[in-house]
Amino acid sequence: MKDVLVPLPPAGLIDRLASLRSQVDAAVDPVTRTSLAKQRDAMQAVLDRLLPYDSILHGLVDQLYALRCDLRSVEQDLRKCEAMADFGPGFIALTRTCLALLDERDQLVSRITIHLSHTPLAQDPE
Protein backbone atom coordinates (compact mmCIF):
# COMPACT_ATOMS: atom_id res chain seq x y z
CA MET A 1 0.00 0.00 0.00
CA LYS A 2 1.24 3.45 -0.86
CA ASP A 3 1.60 6.09 1.87
CA VAL A 4 -0.75 9.05 1.79
CA LEU A 5 0.80 12.35 2.77
CA VAL A 6 -1.42 14.94 4.39
CA PRO A 7 -0.60 18.23 6.09
CA LEU A 8 -0.80 17.94 9.85
CA PRO A 9 -0.04 20.62 12.41
CA PRO A 10 2.70 19.65 14.88
CA ALA A 11 0.23 19.39 17.78
CA GLY A 12 -1.88 17.01 15.67
CA LEU A 13 1.19 14.90 15.01
CA ILE A 14 1.97 14.84 18.73
CA ASP A 15 -1.60 13.81 19.54
CA ARG A 16 -1.55 11.05 16.93
CA LEU A 17 1.80 9.86 18.26
CA ALA A 18 0.44 9.72 21.82
CA SER A 19 -2.51 7.72 20.54
CA LEU A 20 -0.23 5.30 18.70
CA ARG A 21 1.96 4.89 21.79
CA SER A 22 -1.07 3.86 23.83
CA GLN A 23 -2.26 1.52 21.06
CA VAL A 24 1.15 -0.18 20.91
CA ASP A 25 1.12 -0.63 24.68
CA ALA A 26 -2.37 -2.16 24.57
CA ALA A 27 -1.89 -4.35 21.48
CA VAL A 28 -2.00 -8.07 22.22
CA ASP A 29 -1.56 -9.40 18.70
CA PRO A 30 2.16 -9.33 17.77
CA VAL A 31 1.47 -8.49 14.11
CA THR A 32 -0.75 -5.55 15.07
CA ARG A 33 1.75 -4.43 17.69
CA THR A 34 4.60 -4.51 15.15
CA SER A 35 2.57 -2.59 12.57
CA LEU A 36 1.57 0.08 15.09
CA ALA A 37 5.13 0.32 16.44
CA LYS A 38 6.41 0.91 12.90
CA GLN A 39 3.93 3.76 12.43
CA ARG A 40 4.82 5.18 15.85
CA ASP A 41 8.55 5.07 15.11
CA ALA A 42 8.12 6.79 11.73
CA MET A 43 6.06 9.57 13.30
CA GLN A 44 8.51 9.93 16.16
CA ALA A 45 11.39 10.30 13.69
CA VAL A 46 9.56 13.12 11.89
CA LEU A 47 8.77 14.84 15.17
CA ASP A 48 12.37 14.51 16.36
CA ARG A 49 13.58 16.18 13.17
CA LEU A 50 10.92 18.88 13.38
CA LEU A 51 11.23 19.94 17.01
CA PRO A 52 14.22 20.51 19.24
CA TYR A 53 14.11 18.86 22.68
CA ASP A 54 12.02 20.93 25.06
CA SER A 55 11.39 19.86 28.67
CA ILE A 56 8.08 21.73 28.86
CA LEU A 57 6.84 20.11 25.67
CA HIS A 58 8.09 16.75 26.90
CA GLY A 59 5.96 17.14 30.04
CA LEU A 60 2.89 18.08 27.99
CA VAL A 61 3.45 15.07 25.72
CA ASP A 62 3.70 12.78 28.75
CA GLN A 63 0.41 14.21 30.05
CA LEU A 64 -1.20 13.65 26.66
CA TYR A 65 0.04 10.05 26.55
CA ALA A 66 -1.35 9.36 30.06
CA LEU A 67 -4.65 10.91 29.06
CA ARG A 68 -4.76 8.78 25.89
CA CYS A 69 -4.17 5.65 28.02
CA ASP A 70 -7.02 6.66 30.35
CA LEU A 71 -9.27 7.33 27.37
CA ARG A 72 -8.43 3.93 25.86
CA SER A 73 -9.33 2.22 29.15
CA VAL A 74 -12.68 4.03 29.38
CA GLU A 75 -13.45 3.21 25.74
CA GLN A 76 -12.77 -0.47 26.41
CA ASP A 77 -15.11 -0.38 29.41
CA LEU A 78 -17.79 1.28 27.26
CA ARG A 79 -17.43 -1.47 24.66
CA LYS A 80 -17.86 -4.11 27.38
CA CYS A 81 -21.06 -2.43 28.53
CA GLU A 82 -22.30 -2.29 24.95
CA ALA A 83 -21.50 -5.98 24.38
CA MET A 84 -23.57 -6.86 27.44
CA ALA A 85 -26.32 -4.40 26.43
CA ASP A 86 -25.79 -2.72 29.80
CA PHE A 87 -26.75 0.92 29.27
CA GLY A 88 -27.53 1.72 32.88
CA PRO A 89 -25.91 4.13 35.33
CA GLY A 90 -22.42 2.64 34.87
CA PHE A 91 -22.58 3.18 31.12
CA ILE A 92 -23.78 6.75 31.60
CA ALA A 93 -20.96 7.46 34.08
CA LEU A 94 -18.40 6.01 31.65
CA THR A 95 -19.83 8.12 28.82
CA ARG A 96 -19.51 11.26 30.93
CA THR A 97 -15.95 10.30 31.85
CA CYS A 98 -15.14 9.71 28.19
CA LEU A 99 -16.51 13.12 27.20
CA ALA A 100 -14.57 14.81 30.00
CA LEU A 101 -11.37 13.09 28.88
CA LEU A 102 -11.97 14.17 25.28
CA ASP A 103 -12.45 17.77 26.46
CA GLU A 104 -9.26 17.50 28.51
CA ARG A 105 -7.42 16.14 25.46
CA ASP A 106 -8.62 19.05 23.35
CA GLN A 107 -7.43 21.51 26.00
CA LEU A 108 -4.05 19.81 26.24
CA VAL A 109 -3.61 19.82 22.45
CA SER A 110 -4.45 23.55 22.53
CA ARG A 111 -1.80 24.09 25.22
CA ILE A 112 0.70 22.22 23.04
CA THR A 113 -0.27 24.37 20.04
CA ILE A 114 0.24 27.55 22.07
CA HIS A 115 3.56 26.31 23.42
CA LEU A 116 4.74 25.38 19.92
CA SER A 117 3.81 28.83 18.62
CA HIS A 118 6.79 30.06 20.67
CA THR A 119 9.12 27.25 19.53
CA PRO A 120 11.22 27.49 16.38
CA LEU A 121 10.51 24.57 14.05
CA ALA A 122 12.98 23.00 11.67
CA GLN A 123 12.34 24.16 8.10
CA ASP A 124 12.37 20.75 6.41
CA PRO A 125 11.02 17.77 8.38
CA GLU A 126 11.89 15.39 5.53
* pLDDT tens digits for range 39-72: 999 999 988 888 888 899 999 999 999 999 999 9
| Confidence (pLDDT) at 125 | 45
**Between 37 and 125, the higher pLDDT residue:** 37
Q: Nearest CA to 47 among 21, 23, 11, 19?
A: 11
Question: What is the value of pTM for the model shown?
Answer: 0.84
| Confidence (pLDDT) at 119 | 76
Q: Over the stretch 95-120, which tens digit does the pLDDT of each residue have?
A: 999 999 999 999 999 999 999 988 77
User: Would you give the DSSP letter of residue 119?
Assistant: S
- Write phi, then psi, for 4 (nearest 5 degrees): -110, 125
Taking residue 20's Cβ as centre, other Cβ atoms within 10 Å add up to: 21
| Confidence (pLDDT) at 121 | 65
